[in-house]
């Protein structure tokens, strides 16, 4: 294992306090919350990036998700019994997984866009099942005729598939370059 980089003076001054604050917080912590705890004029974003870099190869890592920064256990260090969320993915049908992937790649997306992009009829019951599972949520309504509802993924989706952010997902172009099947919108 490579030696850890020497922490900056700034991280030495504020790192432990910020780490304790994040660990003690029941919810992910925002950069604004961190900025309120460090000296004025200092960069909370830079400190959080440095702390994340220092923990990237550890069993417990500082990660950023849609709601902010939190500590998470690297899945490689979890006992099999605690990896249960991965088993839930198998409970989703192939149609549900394909629909979920489409929503994640193109969100916010309407039911009609999902059907056009996948080339199949998608039942509202399937979308209801994905909402009950906490994987998707209703989004904003489109403007214009019909004001169609949109759907987006949730933080539970990210956690379930062990993603820090949607940007960690491969793009449709990357999937195509790997000769993997991909649904594309028209």
Domain boundaries, the chain: 9-82, 94-177
Q: What is the pLDDT of residue 55?
A: 85
The rounded Cα 171 to chain-centroid distance in angstroms is 15
pLDDT at 3: 52
- Res 78: pLDDT: 67
Tell me the whole-structure pTM to 2 decimals.
0.49
In this prediction, residue 89 carries a pLDDT of 45
Angle (nearest 5°) at CA 50 between 46 and 53: 140
Contact 149, 57 (CB under 8 A): no
pLDDT at 10: 55
Q: Which pLDDT belongs to residue 114?
A: 92
- Alpha carbons within 13 A on the beta-carbon side of 56: 12
Full 3-state SS string of 143-163 = CCCCCCEEEEECHHHHHHCCC
Q: Say yes or no: do domains 9-82 and 94-177 share a fold.
A: yes
Structural class in CATH, domain 94-177: mainly alpha
* pLDDT on residue 79: 61
Per residue in 28-37, pLDDT (tens digit) is: 889 989 888 8
At 161, give phi and psi (nearest 5°). Answer: -95, 10
| pLDDT given at position 121 | 92
Which residues of the chain register pLDDT less than 70? 1-14, 41, 78-90, 172, 174-186
- At 83 the pLDDT is 52
Pick the CATH number of 9-82 from 3.30.70.380, 1.10.3470.10, 1.10.10.10, 3.40.50.1820: 1.10.10.10
């Amino acid at each position: 294992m490579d030696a850890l980089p020497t922490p900056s003076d700034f991280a030495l001054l504020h790192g432990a306090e910020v780490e304790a604050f994040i660990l003690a917080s029941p919810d992910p912590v925002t950069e604004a919350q961190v900025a309120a705890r460090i000296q004025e004029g200092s960069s909370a974003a830079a400190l959080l990036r440095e702390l994340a870099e220092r923990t990237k190869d550890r069993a417990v890592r500082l990660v950023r998700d849609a709601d902010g920064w939190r500590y998470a256990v690297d899945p490689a260090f979890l006992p099999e019994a605690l990896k249960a969320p991965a088993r839930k993915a198998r409970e989703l049908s192939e149609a549900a997984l394909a629909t979920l992937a489409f929503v994640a790649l193109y969100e916010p997306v309407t039911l009609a866009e999902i059907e056009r992009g996948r080339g199949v009829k998608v039942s509202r019951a399937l979308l209801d099942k994905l909402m009950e599972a906490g994987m998707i949520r209703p989004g904003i309504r489109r403007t214009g005729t019909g004001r169609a509802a949109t759907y987006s993924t949730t933080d539970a989706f990210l956690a379930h598939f062990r993603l820090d952010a949607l940007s960690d997902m491969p793009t449709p172009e990357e999937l195509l370059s790997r000769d993997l099947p991909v649904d594309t919108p028209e």
